[in-house]
Structure 1
Amino acid sequence: MKTLNQKNQQIEKPSLEYYLNLQYSIILYPDPEGGYVAQIKDLPGCLTQGETLEETVANLNEARELWIETAYEAGDDIPLPSSNDSYSGKLLLRMPKSLHRRLAETSEREGVSLNQYIVSLLSAVT
């Protein structure tokens, strides 16, 4: 699809596939009534929920695709993923062995990685 810029020159709009392959940050937190809620802040209104972390992430991926496809077909602007280069997303954390064990056991019961489980817990308190 082509669009016109300010000087009436045609420029190529990125393809739908381009937008679908962008990597957006997600926010994931436990729902007080059970299950989890997830959203993509860069895509206003793009949120979902699920009973497990795995289901919630799968539902959010589907919601993201539908959000982007709808916006693309309507000719609306699709925001690019925001970036914050001042934070790497990595954190070294030391904790008691007993806490590590409890977190690992709970994440295994939930069927998610330890990292996903800890991120979901941290998201709930921020």
Structure 2
Amino acid sequence: MTRQEGKMRYPIVIERGSDAEAYGVVVPDLPGCFSAGDTFDEAVSNASEAIALWVEDAIDNGQSIPRPSSLDGLRASLEWSGPEWIWGFASVDPTLFDDTSERVNITLPRRVLARLDSRAKDAGETRSGFIAKLALSA
């Protein structure tokens, strides 16, 4: 994994844009993950968002998350050779991949807590499980 300053970096391939066309971005390690932007900077920023959404969706669907490949290995591919492609990296927060449980302390009014517990019980969930499910479905 390529990490820098607490971020994970995925190699990206950027198709040059112009005044009339957006910059296109492909994330070779994540099948179907792509984005675009009107400027180079916007394209890279949007690639980071696309990666985060791709990872979130994969985790929600029980899929494994491919590790970032080496840039040199990807650059050897004929699929993205030529002057129309620019190589770069998009950074993502590695906590997106972390399923470690963490104890938290929250404060809720008693009436809200009672409603929450009732709905969790009806759903056959624990309070924590029900809160997590609500957060992930929003």
TM-score by length of structure 2 reads 0.45
- The structure with the largest strand share of the pair is 2
TM-score by length of structure 1 reads 0.49
The higher-RCO structure (CA 8 Å, 6+ apart) is 2
